């Protein structure tokens, strides 16, 4: 059963169009400067069955989702849950919305992924650790070493135009739930500290932030 940090729809800052985003819980890679330290604890977040998560995907497809993004945390730290979830969402996608694509983020390099079974249904992957010393303007990537790789005809169609795309600003979204203010997207270096300073100047301060230990 996958353990997830959260999920949300529609997310527009982690892949093309309006997407269901699912953040898996747990990451042992400990990249320096990671912005999502709240996803590190493998016992954090909450377990959810593949069936429940697939129902969320079905609802998103009915609401016109263009795709699914699985991020983290480290999705490949839960290979069985990831494999089963992607297989279920791919089957449903094929029935309901064949043009909805599946994108997976992983901190592992392709050479470190010995068994790609868990990624079998991914149309595109973004691979590699976050390297705080290598800032980038490339869309959806946090550092210049991270590589966006389409894996299927749909992935090539959907992501081909974005391989070298550098937007003026990194797409970001802010959402509020009953517990947290949370951000979706891959900010550029300094964006979150700038936001914190801007809010502080208006009298709003964060008690805890996920980008500091
Ligand atoms: S940047 Fe990604 S891979 Fe690196 S520690 Fe954070 S969640 Fe893990």
Q: Which H helix or E strand runs over 198?
A: helix 191-201
Taking the model in full, what pTM does it have?
Answer: 0.94
Which residue from 14, 107, 185 has its CB within 8 A of the most atoms of ligand 1, so it is best to mutate? 107
pLDDT band of 46, cuts 50, 70, 90:
very high
Counting atoms of ligand 1 from 1, which one is nearest the CA of 107?
3
Structure token digits, residue 153:
């005809």
Indicate whether residue 132 lines ligand 1 (CB < 6 A). no
Separation CA 61–CA 98 (nearest Å): 10
- Over the Cα atoms of the chain, what is R_g? 16
Q: Where are the alpha helices (DSSP H) in 2-133?
A: 50-62, 79-96
pLDDT in tens, 66-125: 999 999 999 999 999 999 999 999 999 998 889 999 999 999 999 999 888 999 999 999
Gap from CA of 122 to ligand 1 centroid (Å):
19
Question: How confident is the model at residue 124, as a pLDDT?
Answer: 98
Indicate whether residue 107 lines ligand 1 (CB < 6 A). yes
Helix (H, G, I), strand (E, B) or coil at 48: coil
* Phi, psi values for residue 102, rounded to 5°: -120, 115
Indicate whether residue 36 lines ligand 1 (CB < 6 A). yes
Indicate whether residue 90 lines ligand 1 (CB < 6 A). no
Indicate whether residue 38 lines ligand 1 (CB < 6 A). no
Separation CA 28–CA 73 (nearest Å): 8
Question: How confident is the model at residue 213, as a pLDDT?
Answer: 57
Res 212 pLDDT > 80: no
Q: Where are the domains of the chain?
A: 3-201
pLDDT in tens, 122-177: 999 999 999 999 999 999 999 999 999 999 999 999 999 999 999 999 999 988 88
Structurally, at CATH architecture level, domain 3-201 sits in: Alpha-Beta Barrel (3.20)
**Atom 3 of ligand 1: nearest residue by CA position:** 107
Question: How confident is the model at residue 203, as a pLDDT?
Answer: 85
Q: How far is CA 85 from the centre of its chain?
A: 15
Res 56 pLDDT > 80: yes
Question: How confident is the model at residue 183, as a pLDDT?
Answer: 84
């Amino acid at each position: 059963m996958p353990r997830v940090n959260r999920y949300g729809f529609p997310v527009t800052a982690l892949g093309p169009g309006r997407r269901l985003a699912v953040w898996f819980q747990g990451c042992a890679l400990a990249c320096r400067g990671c912005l999502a330290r709240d996803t590190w604890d493998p016992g954090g977040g909450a377990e959810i069955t593949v069936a429940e998560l697939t129902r969320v995907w079905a609802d998103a497809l009915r609401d016109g989702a263009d795709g699914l993004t699985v991020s983290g945390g480290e999705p490949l730290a839960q290979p069985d849950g990831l494999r089963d979830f992607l297989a279920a969402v791919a089957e449903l996608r094929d029935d309901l919305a064949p043009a909805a694509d599946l994108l997976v983020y992983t901190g592992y390099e392709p050479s470190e992924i010995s068994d790609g079974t868990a990624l079998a249904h991914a149309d595109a992957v973004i691979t590699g650790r976050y390297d705080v010393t290598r800032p980038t303007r490339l869309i959806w990537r946090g550092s210049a070493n991270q590589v966006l790789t389409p894996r299927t005809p749909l992935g090539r169609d959907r992501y081909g135009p974005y391989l070298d795309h550098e937007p003026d600003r990194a797409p970001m979204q802010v959402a509020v739930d009953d517990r947290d203010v949370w951000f979706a997207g891959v900010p550029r270096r300094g964006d979150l500290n700038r936001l914190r300073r801007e809010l502080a100047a208006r009298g709003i301060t964060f008690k805890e932030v996920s980008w500091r230990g």
